[in-house]
Structure 1
Amino acid sequence: MITQTISLYNWTNGVIMIAIFALVCIALIGILINFMMSGKKKDPDEN
């Protein structure tokens, strides 16, 4: 029974999954900031 529960704790897989999740979150935040910064600015000369 102990060998079955020890095999559930795979640190390598957990660390890789957390790293991938962190990279995806950073990429999404970067894309969001990029959209916010590149929004159309109103030009007062157009009206």
Structure 2
Amino acid sequence: MRRHVVGYCFPWDVDEGFAVRAVELGVDEVAIATAHRSTRAATPW
């Protein structure tokens, strides 16, 4: 059974050859980050 492979990247990683490289690596789906070093902080309120 083949597993579903998800690749993660940042927007600046995507260039003209990105899709070809992803397919060659066996990636089925790509998740592009929309924030870099975002923080999720808990507050008392």
Question: Structures share a fold, TM > 0.5?
Answer: no
Larger Cα Rg: Structure 1 or Structure 2? 1
**Higher relative contact order by CA 8 Å / sep ≥ 6: 1 or 2?**
2
Q: Which has the higher strand share?
A: 2
